[in-house]
Chains A and B, each alone.
Chain A
Amino acid sequence: MTTDNRKEILKRGAIWAFILVELAFFSIIGDRLSVSDKAFMDYANMLLLLKQSAPIGIIALGMTIIMINGNIDLSVGATFALAAIVLLDSMTWPFMQALGDWAIPLAWVFALLTGATLGAINGLIVWKTGVDAFIVTLGSMLGFRGLVFMFNGEQPTSHLNWTLVDFAEGHFLGLHTPTWFLLCAALVLWLLMTRTVHGRNAYAIGNNREAAVNAGIRVGPHMLLNFILIGFLAALSAVVFYSESGSVNPNDGMLFELWAITAVVLGGTKLAGGYGSIISTLGGVIAIQLLRKGLGHIGADTQTVNLVIGLILIAVLILDRQLNRKGQGELKI
């Protein structure tokens, strides 16, 4: 049993060890090759990194609970864009403008409700039809994106509200506002997944759905709740990001679902469901952002960054398999 515990710690710790390796690599090798003369491990740089992780990070947290539950959600990028449009456009409505700055919280509520509703649509379809979540959300990804384009064609939707920008760019106890959103969402979801019956049942459903049904767990409502949550989180991510930027392109949020899934998998969550952790996903998100920033720091272009991230993802999965084997006597597959 102690070896099992040790293995568990090793598995959970792996992503953090990887982050340390990245940090060491980029601050030693990186600073030598760097195109700028600023150090990589600069405090402000690290804070910025956390802030930049927030949009994908918040979505990845939602993706974690969806994947633990044994589903997947490909529509998060489109939900993100649609919620952003609602956020920015709603502030231009006449009655909202009449409210002055009070329009801001209301616009947030609209955006978050949009996200939750889109999530609920996915969840209800998956629940009631029994169609695989991959297919359902593939469809809704296209559908939601279609709505985005219907709204304003190829034109961006913009609205800049300076109070909002000040808030989004603000600091609190040293951290940027988006970072706080990320950390709070992580805390809440971590509590949800580890402490509540909903969370534990979600693990059971993802792990062995038939056993969960046999034990009298109502699978549908749990899945619905998780889809609502990820829709909400995709919208939250939009709120965090667009409060600052103030302009949304119809193509925004594309491929976010893949980045989110990458972060979740890097964090060790099983694609098949039943195993994973919110905290490790946070690690996965930071690891990817570090890699992007670090490679940028030494002057690599985006394509190279993507290539490296892809290779590392595969390497991590291979490593994970090796770790899961207990040694020579272990059953081979």
Chain B
Amino acid sequence: MTDPTPVLRLEGIVKSFPGVRALDGVSFDVRPGEVHALMGENGAGKSTLMKVLGGIHAPNEGKIFIAEEPVVMTSPMQAKAKGVVFIHQELSLADELTVAENIFLGELPLKSFGRVDWAKLYARTDAILKKLNVRFTAKTRVGDLSIANQQMVEIGRALTVSPRAVIFDEPTASLTDAEKVVLFDVIADLQSQGVGIVYISHRMEEVFKITDRISVLRDGQYRGTLITADTDEDEVTKLMIGRSLDLSRNESHHEMGDVALEVRGLSCGTLFQDVDFAVRKGEVLGFYGLVGAGRTEIAETIFGLRNPTAGQIYLNGREVRIHSPIDAVRMGISLVPEDRKGQGLVLSMNCRDNMTLPQVDDMTAGPFVSDGAEIAIFDQYRDKLDIRTPGWRQLVGNLSGGNQQKIVIGKWLSMRPDVLIVDEPTRGIDVGSKSEIHSLIRDLAAQGFAVIVISSEMPEVLHVSDRIVAMYSGKVMREFTSEEVTEDNLIQAISGITEKVA
């Protein structure tokens, strides 16, 4: 913060979409070597602000300065030429192409006659991958990578040029702790080179760990900037949502019923082996582990998306075979998937239709779909989950990332399943709604539903679960009750360190 000239400055930015004033006179600046957090609820306008800066949206009003020179950003290409690199919230990758081609997308090194300089491309990619400390190679097809690794590819793009400013829009949403460490190293590295960094995240721990200043947006308006060292979570939260939050552990316990779902010896190839667990009615079972531990795959198997190679599934004590999601839904199992864009949403459909998609067959008046019933369901869950949208007619693709996630959750909740499996339910969701979703999960359990929560966020599993299953590389390492679990023994269990249980 010795250099007073900001690398980036935005002044009075206004951006309207039909029916939404997404940004309303926002000003903001980033200094060289600074990590500047941008926080705010879902739909507050963070991504939109950065898209204006990155040349994707043209602002209705306002000015952009780079190194105090006014610029008009007309395209992503121009932003890049000015040294502004944008790591998108939603993965922006071509999955049929290789890692190297994706990292250098739009700026492949050239030889004569417009040929690609493959040697240089691979050499530079290898150097970047080494820095990122990942286990895939430059020639791997991106579509074959896990989401976390795809996110790392996306992050690799910040290292291709020597940028003036890098924007990270929720980079950690799908990363686990191991990869986060690498990301923070990368950020520290950029910082030491005098690059200005904008860091968007809903995770307080991260923001307080790596940022220098925090700017807060609320409903498209600028609420102020705080120096990270001089503030605390509570102050930031109040600025963001206008009230404080209770983020303690789950203490409440209620009556539990019979076992709703039991799994014995379930295996699926190399993905996971010999998994046993049971969930009771009224219980929240947390699954914690690193990405790749097989949690999502277990959920997909129970939901009929994969065929198990061994083992049995019992629903209410009866053995069942689930061959497809249709079977699963009919038997009262719902899955809120991890990859909302790919599996949970039809982006080009409106909010209401997305939410009522799985039950539209049942909501008919004569031969037609009953509009009224659909809208009633949508309204109910919009209020419950606080979904920010101008109306049910809005296309889901135009919602902010966090609000898209809420639509998916609403969709499966409205099915009122017996067993609800939620995979990373609060990825990309702001602190306020996060606690809403947590209490919603607790409420559902209290009403007698069996809930399975898969999460890579320790505070989250600790907060919502009655029992926690720790997984490591396809195996269940240990089960904890909420009394015996501590952060330490949980971390040990998911890193594969078997501890002598007393």
Contact = CB atoms under 8 A, between A and B. Distances in A.
Interface of A: 1, 4, 195-198, 200-201, 203-204, 207-208, 210-218, 274-275, 327-332
Contact of A218 (B77, B88, B94, B268): B77
A47 to B, nearest CB: 33
B105 interface: yes
Contact of B105 (A195, A204, A218, A275): A204
Contacts, number: 100
A329 B268 contact: yes
Nearest to B56: A214
Contacts of B105: 204, 211-212, 215, 217
Contact of B107 (A195, A210, A216, A331): A216
B323 to A, nearest CB: 9
Interface string B287-312: 00000000001001000111101000
Given A195-B116, A196-B113, A204-B97, A4 B92 contact: no
A121 B83 CA distance: 36
A200 B92 contact: no
Nearest to B157: A215
Q: Which of B86, B93, B271 has its CB near the most chain A CB atoms (within 10 A)? A: B93
Given A1-B140, A197-B108, A218-B77, A210 B307 contact: no
B443 interface: no
Given A195-B115, A215-B106, A328-B309, A203 B94 contact: yes
B92 A214 contact: yes
Interface string B217-232: 0000000000000000
A286 to B, nearest CB: 25
A199 B235 CA distance: 52
B441 to A, nearest CB: 25
Instruction: Kindly list the 4 A-B residue pairs having the minimum CB-CB distance in the complex, ordered from nearest.
Output: A216-B77, A215-B106, A215-B105, A207-B94
A213 B270 CA distance: 38
Given A195-B115, A200-B97, A328-B269, A214 B144 contact: no
Contact of B94 (A4, A208, A329, A331): A208
Contact of A197 (B94, B115, B268, B307): B115
Nearest to B55: A216
Contacts of A200: 97, 101, 108, 116
B114 interface: yes
A331 B116 contact: no
Contacts of A197: 108, 110, 114-116
B115 A329 contact: no
Contacts of B56: 214
Nearest to A191: B115
18 contacts: A4-B141, A195-B116, A196-B114, A196-B116, A198-B114, A203-B96, A207-B95, A208-B95, A211-B93, A214-B86, A214-B88, A215-B92, A215-B106, A216-B79, A216-B106, A217-B106, A218-B77, A331-B306
B97 A203 contact: yes
B94 A211 contact: yes
B309 A215 contact: no
A207 B96 contact: yes
Nearest to B80: A216
B266 to A, nearest CB: 12
B269 A327 contact: yes
B305 A331 contact: yes
